[in-house]
Amino acid sequence: MHTDILKSLRLDNSGVPIYVQLREQILRSLGAGALAPGDQMPTMREVAIALKIDLNTVRHAYDELERMGAITLVRAEQFCSPASACKGVRAQAVQIDSLAKQTLATAATVGIDPVAVADRIKALAKQKE
């Protein structure tokens, strides 16, 4: 599985940061089913060597993927991890915290009061019930 994923990764000179290109390609692989929940991903070092890029660039992409809940970092091993694969209260708490932080950052970026976003989320959740 490592070699298939590594072979599919391509970087270009489009002006898009390398870590963003890498993150998006991995997300596309997940969406296309090339990576399944529980699959072990290439290590950061393997990706850095294969693409001839700095290890910190790969780390940045993997960290963002983890914050998004797309992968789980476990002692230097990375696994695909959709929301349905996370088990236990602790894992769910980490995902909730990550999602909340992403929402706060997005709200701040577009100039929206995060409390207003939280109130709207509560209202939408009540409608769904």
Sorted by where each starts, the structural domains of the chain and their CATH numbers stand as 2-82 (1.10.10.10), 89-128 (no CATH)
Q: pLDDT tens for residues 65-75?
A: 888 888 888 76
**Cβ partners under 8 Å of residue 9, min gap 6:** 22, 25, 47, 50, 51
Regarding pTM above 0.75, the answer is no
Instruction: For residue 8, give the amino acid letter.
Output: S
Structure tokens at 34: 């090339």
b/e per residue, 16-41, with b = 16+ CB within 10 A? eebbebbbebbbebbeeeebeeebeb
Does residue 47 or residue 32 have the better pLDDT? 47
Q: Where are the beta strands (DSSP E) in the chain?
A: 71-74, 77-80
pLDDT of residue 92: 65
